């Protein structure tokens, strides 16, 4: 005998969402799991290049919101004088996320950022490539609204910038 069970949020009185899934030979079922907002609301972008790239947006927030990086994969072939940089910039303030040289060897970076690498209000995530070489960046990220985004001055103070 099956028992129908619904978990209710005590604050809102709404049912907590469950997800359908299918397992071969089992048919459709549902599960209730604990997932992070990053896993639930993640977006992604990918860029490839074969030449120098001036500062170009990878991810932009909506309005006064912010971008939180979830995963970052960067690859670039060896090139004397070459580099790849990724940074947040709101037009007034800038903070680097990654800067790598490809002088001595190819670059292959793959990072799952579980430490909440989040920009501040209105800060866009940019990349720049110096030198003529091939490479790519894959980023997964979530967009936070203004209520969950800090001002640059508050973030700088908290992080000791």
Structural contact between residues 79 and 46, judged by C-beta atoms closer than 8 angstroms: no
Instruction: Say if 131 falls within a structural domain.
Output: yes
Residues 6+ apart with CB under 8 A from 72: 86, 97, 98, 109, 110, 111, 113, 137, 138, 139, 140
For residue range 111-160, list pLDDT tens digits in order.
Answer: 998 778 999 999 999 999 999 999 999 999 999 999 999 999 999 999 99
Range of the domain at 115: 37-159
| CA–CA gap between residue 102 and residue 19 (Å, rounded) | 43
The total number of structural domains in the chain stands at: 1
Whether 1 has a pLDDT exceeding 60, the answer reads: no
Instruction: Say if 19 falls within a structural domain.
Output: no
Closest CA to 127 of 58, 65, 78, 74: 58
For residue range 79-108, list pLDDT tens digits in order.
Answer: 999 999 999 999 999 999 999 999 989 999
Instruction: Say if 3 falls within a structural domain.
Output: no
| CA–CA gap between residue 98 and residue 89 (Å, rounded) | 13
Instruction: Say if 1 falls within a structural domain.
Output: no
Reduced to 3 states, what is the DSSP secondary structure of residue 158? helix
Q: What is the CATH number of the domain that holds 144?
A: 2.60.120
Which pTM does this prediction carry?
0.81
Instruction: Say if 5 falls within a structural domain.
Output: no
């Amino acid at each position: 005998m099956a028992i129908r069970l619904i978990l209710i949020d005590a604050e809102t009185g709404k049912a907590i969402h469950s997800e359908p899934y299918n397992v071969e030979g089992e048919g459709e079922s549902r599960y209730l799991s604990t997932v992070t907002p990053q896993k639930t609301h993640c977006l992604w972008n990918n860029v490839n290049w074969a030449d120098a790239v001036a500062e170009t947006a990878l991810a932009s927030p909506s309005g006064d919101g912010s971008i939180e990086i979830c995963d970052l994969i960067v690859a670039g072939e060896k090139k004397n004088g070459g580099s790849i940089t990724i940074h947040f910039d709101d037009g007034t303030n800038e903070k680097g996320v990654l800067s790598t040289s490809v002088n001595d060897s190819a670059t292959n970076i793959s990072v799952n950022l579980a430490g909440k690498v989040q920009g501040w209000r209105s800060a866009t995530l940019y990349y720049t490539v110096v030198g003529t070489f091939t490479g790519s960046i894959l980023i997964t990220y979530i967009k936070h609204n203004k209520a969950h985004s800090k001002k640059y001055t508050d973030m700088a103070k908290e992080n000791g910038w």
